[in-house]
Copies of this chain bind each other. A is one copy, B any other.
Amino acid sequence: MNGRRLTRKGVQTRDRIVAVAADLMQQRGVARTTVEDIQEAAGISSSQLYHYFADKGALVAAVIELQGQRVLGVQHLGLDRVTCLADLWRWRDLVVGIRTAQNCVGGCPLGSLAADLAETDAVARAQLARWFAEWERILRTGLASMASAGQFADGTDTDRLALALLAATQGGLLLSQVNRDTAALTAAMDTVITHIGTLLTEAPSDTVRRH
């Protein structure tokens, strides 16, 4: 690797290794996932794996990138086109729907990696902070576009609301994982989105939900 061009087959092999590593790390955590586990699950040799990744740290970096793209890919389905409160509610339904389909097993892929690596791997922590900053940016952009359209009362700090919504979602995902129950996720997201609704200058009937 290290700058060398990969063949199409090489790219496929590398992607498969990263996907396998991401799944194992999501299930077990990073420390409980050895390079040997990943080799075995991907059905490759040690020399093949080290052809693509210098060490476990390089694998972890690739896993963070994959999970960031996956999470924000899913989020983007709704979040990158937020123009009114109903769009936030649609995003909330998407997040809760995914959690329900997973029976609340597993945490947020980015949140789990963050809790796992923040104190033991400064490089990974910084990489994860960049992904959370991107997530926050997407939320801020949506709320800012609502503000530009005059939907919020003057002086509303939409950047702070975006960060609060991200934090509430993360905490809700963590508690839903521990409790195997979406109640904390829905309570947290609903409360913050409802609060955002109270700051609108007007509340068109089709965008209001009661919680």
Taking CB atoms, residues of chain B closer than 8 Å to A184 are 163-164, 166-167
Q: Quick one: which of B114, B163, B178 contacts A132, CB cutoff 8 A?
A: B178
> A169 on the interface (CB 8 Å rule)?
yes
Which stretch from A54-62, A144-152, A185-193 is at the chain B interface?
A: A185-193
Evaluate contact between B119 and A111: CB separation under 8 angstroms: no
Would A178 and B128 count as touching, CB distance under 8 A?
A: yes
Question: What is A's interface to B at a CB cutoff of 8 Å?
Answer: 26-29, 31-32, 105-107, 111-112, 114-116, 118-120, 125, 128-129, 132-133, 157, 160-161, 163-164, 166-175, 177-180, 183-185, 187-188, 190-192, 194-195, 198, 211
Can you give 23 A-B contacts (C-beta < 8 A)? A28-B120, A29-B31, A29-B120, A114-B177, A163-B183, A163-B188, A164-B168, A164-B184, A164-B187, A164-B188, A164-B192, A167-B172, A167-B175, A167-B185, A167-B188, A170-B175, A171-B171, A171-B172, A171-B188, A174-B174, A191-B192, A191-B195, A194-B195
